[in-house]
């Protein structure tokens, strides 16, 4: 299994929930971050795991559906998901939400506005003021960027930086 990026990996943008500087996959519901709901459903006592902070920072997709398959799978929602484009004004629907850029490779399922990938690595985070995070509106993204040893960048810089690392697709 080749877990190293291909020469020209895909680039995408996605949101995580930040907890103790760790980046977690999950969903945002009514102003709250819910980590890995599909996994929690089958293994409620298993603690959610952040994307790895190890040297290579490579996350590997896994499907938590009842009859699992190799992720990503076309007729499922598994895989490491990202949008092709970073919104003009990226929304932060919870106090622990953060946007960032990833490079992705391996098996890829392309969708209308983004893709789901087998392997991904975060390469930069968005330096944004989060008005929902009253106590630390700037701090969570900064802590996560430090933990993953990746830059914290303003929107346009993040898009440009991502473009140096791989292929940016558009959704039109």
* Interacting residues with Zn ion (CB under 5 A): 63, 65, 73, 76, 78
In whole angstroms, what separates CA 4 from the centre of its chain?
18
Q: For the beta carbon of residue 57, count every other beta carbon within 10 angstroms.
A: 17
| 80 vs 152 by CB, closer to Zn ion | 80
**Shortest approach of Zn ion to residue 111 CB, angstroms?**
14
| 21 vs 27 by CB, closer to Zn ion | 27
**Shortest approach of Zn ion to residue 76 CB, angstroms?**
3
Query: What does the block give as tokens for 159?
Result: 């898009």
| 63 vs 168 by CB, closer to Zn ion | 63
**Shortest approach of Zn ion to residue 133 CB, angstroms?**
32
Q: What is the DSSP letter of 5?
A: P
Q: Residue 151: what are its φ and ψ, rounded to 5°?
A: -75, 155
CA torsion through residues 43, 44, 49, 50, sign? positive
| 28 vs 73 by CB, closer to Zn ion | 73
CB-CB contact of 161 with 7 (8 Å): no
Q: Residue 126: what are its φ and ψ, rounded to 5°?
A: -85, 125
Q: What is the DSSP letter of 147?
A: H
Q: What is the DSSP letter of 67?
A: S
| 21 vs 76 by CB, closer to Zn ion | 76
**Shortest approach of Zn ion to residue 25 CB, angstroms?**
13
**Shortest approach of Zn ion to residue 66 CB, angstroms?**
10
Q: What is the DSSP letter of 51?
A: P
């Amino acid at each position: 299994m080749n877990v190293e990026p291909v020469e020209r990996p895909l680039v995408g943008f996605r949101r995580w929930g930040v907890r103790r500087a760790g980046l977690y996959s999950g969903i945002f519901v009514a102003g709250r971050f819910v980590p890995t709901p599909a996994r929690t459903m089958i293994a409620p006592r298993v603690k959610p795991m952040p994307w790895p902070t190890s040297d290579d920072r490579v996350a590997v997709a896994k499907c938590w559906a009842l009859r699992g398959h190799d992720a990503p799978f076309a007729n499922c929602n598994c895989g490491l998901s990202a949008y092709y484009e970073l919104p003009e004004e990226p929304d932060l629907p919870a106090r622990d939400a953060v946007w960032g850029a990833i490079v992705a490779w391996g098996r890829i399922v392309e969708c209308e506005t983004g893709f789901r990938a087998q392997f991904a690595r975060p390469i930069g985070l968005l330096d944004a003021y989060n008005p929902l995070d009253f106590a630390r509106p700037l701090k969570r993204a900064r802590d996560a960027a430090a933990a993953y040893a990746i830059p914290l960048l303003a929107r346009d810089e993040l898009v440009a930086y991502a473009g140096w690392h791989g292929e940016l697709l558009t959704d039109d």
